[in-house]
Amino acid sequence: MIYFKNGEFLEEQQMNLSVNDRGYAFGDGVYEVIKVYDGVLYTAQEHLERLIESAEKIRMPLPYTIEQLTNIAQKLLTENQLSVGHIYLQVTRGVAPRAHQFPESDIPPVIIGYTVVNPRPVEHLKMGTAMKSVEDMRWLRCDIKSLNLLGNVLAKQEAIEHSCQEALFVRDGLVREGSASNVFGIKDGILHTHPANNFILNGITRRVVLQIAKDLAIPVVEKEFTLAEALAMDEFFFTSTNAEITPVITIDGKQIGEGVPGPLTRKLQSAFDGQIPMLVSAGNAKERESNGTAS
């Protein structure tokens, strides 16, 4: 597999990352995960814009333009012949003797990238999954896609130890997001989600879902709701680059709606699939099969 590091495409053993990298010492950096479907980057522009925004928010200059970053991502996926999976990009403030404050002299950031083969979670997409509510102990800048993920790590682990796929962060009694996803509820035909502020990451998949809802004339309310309100939703789902639109059928062991992925969730999933050529052709193949006309 080919990796990227500061302008070079290298084998893993050539990567030579430093113990004094501020990402390693402090999690002082930002990252992105960009999905690849059938060898094609999906919403790369949006992810790379967010990478630049995250870097600005932590006062870290990025030495690459969106165009250069796109070329890096493209070369990585081509070199590694990635079909379905994602590109991981990470930028840290660079290498300097360990001290909390920024290094005094300007040091170059360390940017790395690699590809991951990652099939779509088809079973979860179809059958739905379980969430567990967890107290949100993270800092107050969840809008930054920072490498500091301890709160997310602990929450996800707690969910898994309770046989749930994903954690549901609750802060001040209000549902915020998943440990690595945004969340949506549907009640009486209205789509509810947390507003894009400092308490959540404004997910790219979240934005896609809101655009789809607009296109389908599904009413949307971007306003906080409580855990009790979440439990009383007719439908619930979480979204992320890899999880796409994953239906949630239980929260804390309590059934949501009918306990199966709901009709509006299905409709949003179909519209999402409709945007991705690979998924459209897979859907067509499935249809031909069920019509008995598969070639």
Candidates 203, 247, 257, 261; binder of ligand PSZ (CB under 6 A) is: 203
Candidates 54, 92, 182, 193; binder of ligand PSZ (CB under 6 A) is: 182
CA atoms lying within 13 Å on the CB side of residue 250: 11
Is residue 180 close enough to count as binding ligand PSZ by CB under 6 A? yes
Between residues 94 and 181, which has the closer beta carbon with respect to ligand PSZ?
181
Of 210-218, 234-242, 263-271, 272-280, which segment contacts ligand PSZ by CB under 6 A?
234-242
Candidates 45, 242, 250, 275; binder of ligand PSZ (CB under 6 A) is: 242
**64 conformational bin, left if phi > 0, alpha if psi -120 to 50, beta if neither:** beta
Dihedral angle sign, alpha carbons of residues 166, 133, 207, 273: positive
CA atoms lying within 13 Å on the CB side of residue 163: 2
219, 190 Cβ separation under 8 angstroms: yes
Quick check: helix, strand or coil at residue 285? helix
For residue 136, give the nearest of 54, 198, 221, 53 by alpha carbon: 198
Q: Which residue is nearest to ligand PSZ (CB)?
A: 203
Q: What is the x/- site pattern for ligand PSZ, positions 133-172, by CB under 6 A?
A: -------------------x--------------------
Return the H-helix or E-strand segment holding 177: strand 174-178
Catalytic amino acids?
145
**How many residues belong to the chain?**
295
For residue 153, give the nearest of 140, 129, 169, 141 by alpha carbon: 169
Between residues 60 and 167, which has the closer beta carbon with respect to ligand PSZ?
167
Is residue 30 close enough to count as binding ligand PSZ by CB under 6 A? no
Between residues 128 and 203, which has the closer beta carbon with respect to ligand PSZ?
203
Candidates 52, 96, 155, 204; binder of ligand PSZ (CB under 6 A) is: 204
What pairs with residue 183 in β-bridges? Answer: 238
164, 211 Cβ separation under 8 angstroms: no
Quick check: helix, strand or coil at residue 184? strand
Cβ 26 to ligand PSZ, closest distance in Å?
A: 19
Candidates 239, 246, 265, 269; binder of ligand PSZ (CB under 6 A) is: 239
Q: Tell me how far apart the alpha carbons of residues 31 and 26 are, in angstroms, rounded to a whole number.
A: 14
Distances (CA, A) of 268 to 46, 100, 263: 20, 45, 9
Is residue 181 close enough to count as binding ligand PSZ by CB under 6 A? yes
Candidates 240, 246, 265, 269; binder of ligand PSZ (CB under 6 A) is: 240
Q: What is the x/- site pattern for ligand PSZ, positions 31-50, by CB under 6 A?
A: --x-----------------
Of 13-21, 157-165, 199-207, 210-218, which segment contacts ligand PSZ by CB under 6 A?
199-207
Cβ 251 to ligand PSZ, closest distance in Å?
A: 17
Is residue 201 close enough to count as binding ligand PSZ by CB under 6 A? yes
- Token look-up 């479907």 returns 37
The tokens describing 127, both together, are: 């059958």
Binding site for ligand PSZ (CB under 6 A): 33, 152, 177, 180-182, 201, 203-206, 239-243
